[in-house]
Amino acid sequence: MKCLYVVKTLSLRDTLPEYPKVIVDGDVIVIVSEDGDRMIWDWEPDKTDAERVAEEIEIGLKSIFYVRSRLIDLLSDVVDRLTALDVPYEMLDWVIDDAYNDVNRNLPCLIERLKSR
């Protein structure tokens, strides 16, 4: 199976990543990746609306990148701990997949519970 994500630890845990950035270029909302690639998100003729939309998109994308990175870090730690507990390496895929599916099924309820803490 090909892994789509590179395990990369954020240097500052309490900050969102610097990229992707979302900019307004004329009436176009553009997503700019860390390597400089640009992707058109949408067109918005009203400059104020375009800037608001760009800011919302940027916060959302940076948050997704942050969560993804943290989940990969946590998963790496879980694998290390399971291995240290002598769980056979061959079992890790299905054990983690089963646990992930269980969490995913209950995610809406879990998020609501966490938000109300």
What is the model's pLDDT at position 10? 47
Token pair for 61: 């994308």
Q: Region 1-11: what's the mean pLDDT?
A: 47
Considering the entire predicted model, what is its pTM? 0.75
Average the pLDDT over each of 4-18, 28-42, 51-65 and give the range with the smallest value. Answer: 4-18
pLDDT in tens, 49-80: 999 999 999 999 999 999 999 999 999 999 99
DSSP state string for 90-106 = GGHHHHHHHHHHHHHHT
First to last CA, the chain: 38
Q: To the nearest whole number, what is the mean pLDDT of the chain? A: 88
**Residue-wise burial string across 28-54, b where 16 or more C-beta atoms lie within 10 A, e elsewhere:** ebbbbeeeeeeeebeebeeeeebeebb
Band (pLDDT 50/70/90 cuts) for residue 1 is very low
Q: Region 19-28: what's the mean pLDDT?
A: 95
Q: Would you kindly state where each structural domain of the chain is located, as residue ranges?
A: 1-86, 89-117
User: For residue 88, how far is the Cα from the chain centroid?
Assistant: 29
